Structure 1
């Protein structure tokens, strides 16, 4: 058991380490810093372990859904709280803690503001310790419970642009996740989401316990290394995650499309290396030889600064370091243990994935 007061000093570590663990997705560090600083300036939310609450206490999952590169993506901080209010009102429940959906520059700290405003803790039991593309991957295995009814609320968009969207959807997890993704498209590319209340008992067995602290500790190592230069930061990431630096070079081409609320495409690094992505990086290959496959962590870092670069931010001409680490070095939730959930990844990027993972 542990209780950590979330302070301004921890914000940078959380967004830095979280962005690396996003593996190309998980939202931007800029948005994460803004949200987390609002939280710690408003109150003093605590990060606690799932064991610190009664096993029947209710946790709600918060996430951000959409295509990271969407130009009209917009969500005010209050939208994140509004989504939780909608779920509580319709279900007639009281939430005892907040859990994030995944890791990322925004995702790791998603929930801090809601916790500060509601006076409840952030619980270190996210759905996943890395970022993932589909909502069902972040459902911690709930899709396997036939009688389970998903409830999800989404809020996003600008009223002045007539893209403001607020929806609450219930039904099977797969259908609801599809409708929430469609809501993100209608909102301009992005929605704040609250969903699927679960008990602490369920989280203990299916969540990525300790993944928030892993992100914070990774970020601390990166911050310590910054004064020694970008190479030291990249080395610190590899050392902490037991990973390796695969290549350093200039990005030759980036192919990107926004399809159905997702960013999908590939990155070519000096002809030899190809990285495919579906929001998150899916595959890494050298001259056709597979080097890493999602949910292994594939990540790009700016070679001149050592700072993480997401798939939505990467541009042709950038000098990039590509790192990888095996999935065994990450803290993963139940959504990463079902081969059927990876079929959509294969279809999106046109690469074999399941055979490399399971």
Structure 2
């Protein structure tokens, strides 16, 4: 079902997006800075944007747009200049072919991913597709359904906030656009190329990314995980209204109202330490949460990928399943990993001393296909973080209702 988003709706969207982002997808801080400037004027012709279903996108082409890089580095941005300029390059590319860009697609679920997609669409007077490439946030491009479905990644536009433009035109082997397997290879190659670029001084650890141009047929194939903006908006409104006060209540809502498999994995406890380093376009770190039941360590690379309980011999949760924080008591209830620390590296006083739980949410089916690009990419990533065992899903049946 289509719906309209105004500036007053973005706080709910970014809070819900943050929860579904598995600790990543950009910080609430960065998304709020952008949302606060969503005012009709020179930058935004109107302070509203229309969100539509995949099935209704028939007026032209769509493109995925995002910020790529270290979430904390994006915190002070007021306008999405990098993504806007990247989309402008795509528009020009399409117009030369007699094609029209009509839709913007978020890359993933997350506070920043959703807000950026909406604001870029509003800047150009386009519509946003109510779907994304993972239903959670991910640390690399091959973990998205666009890559898994072999959508043509040519061209890929990367633009710094100050306007330095980089166009990547990596051509797969085979036919004009390459076969599906080679497209997947190209997504990994592009990931390996753009990360060092955003780490350069001119980019400052982040840039605007636009890639995967899709017509209506490709869009339907590339986006099997749908309704994710609407889902985030509904949860965010409940959080704003303080309707959910405990992890148990959140889990019940996810299962009964959102149709998701979910469970409380640890807590409530209290955050005792957050260790983080920003390098190569990633925020990498560990969050320690202590309770009477033991010590929980959440390991993240932008997004939370592993959760351990010191009392158990295997992870209590792992990607591609999502790991979300829920904080009880007065004040903000959801946080990304990047929101847990202040700029000086100290623990955010908004979470200090408050009960914190880790909630596991079952990954959507396209992320759990054995031998598939997405699951293999996640397993390669958790292997780099020290876990060399098999994928341990939250539920034997996948958990998605």
Indicate the TM-score class for this superposition, using the shorter chain for normalisation: 0.7 to 0.9
> 2:327 maps to what in 1?
302
Q: Which runs of 5+ in 1 are unaligned?
A: 159-163
The answer for the alignment partner of 2:305 in structure 1 is 282
Measure, in 2, the Cα distance between the counterparts of 1:333 and 1:37.
33
Asked if the contact 1:345–1:353 (Cα under 8 Å) also holds between the matched residues in 2, the reply is no
Q: By how many angstroms is 1:278 displaced?
A: 1.2
Are 2:147 and 2:187, in contact at CA under 8 Å, matched by a contact in 1?
A: no
Matched residue, 1:161: none
In the alignment, which residue of structure 1 is the partner of 2:178? none
SS in 1 for 2:167: strand
CA contact (8 A) 1:39 1:112 kept: no
341-350 vs 23-32, which deviates more?
341-350
Counterpart pick for 1:292 among 317, 321, 329 = 317
3-state DSSP class of the match of 2:101?
A: coil
Q: For residues 32 and 382 of structure 2, what CA distance do their matches in structure 1 show?
A: 33
| Contact 1:88–1:95 (Cα < 8 Å) also in 2 | yes
The question of 1:183 aligning with 2:197 is answered yes
1:123 aligns with 2:122: no
Q: Which moved more, 1:202-211 or 1:34-43?
A: 34-43
Partner of 1:102, secondary structure, is: coil
**Is residue 2:384 matched to residue 1:348?**
yes
Deviation at 1:334, TM superposition (A): 9.0
1:62–1:199 distance in 2 versus 1, CA, 3 Å = same
Partner of 2:213: 197
Q: 1:233 to 1:268 in 2, by over 3 A?
A: closer
Change in Cα spacing, 1:238 to 1:343, as seen in structure 2 (3 Å) is closer
Deviation digits for residues 33-81 of structure 1 (CA, Å, limit 9, x no counterpart): 3434544643131011111122x83110011111123489858423221
Is 1:11 aligned to 2:47, yes or no? no
Matched, 1:313 2:336: no
1:257 equivalent among 277, 300, 308: 277
Aligned residues: 344
TM-score by length of 2: 0.77
Who is 2:177 aligned against?
none
Q: Which runs of 5 or more residues in structure 2 are unaligned?
A: 171-185, 256-261, 342-346
11-20 vs 295-304, greater mean Cα deviation: 295-304
- 1:98-247 to structure 2, matched below 5 A, reads 98-138=104-144, 140-142=146-148, 144=150, 148-157=152-161, 165-171=164-170, 172-186=186-200, 187-207=203-223, 208-225=225-242, 232=245, 234-242=247-255, 243-245=262-264, 246-247=266-267
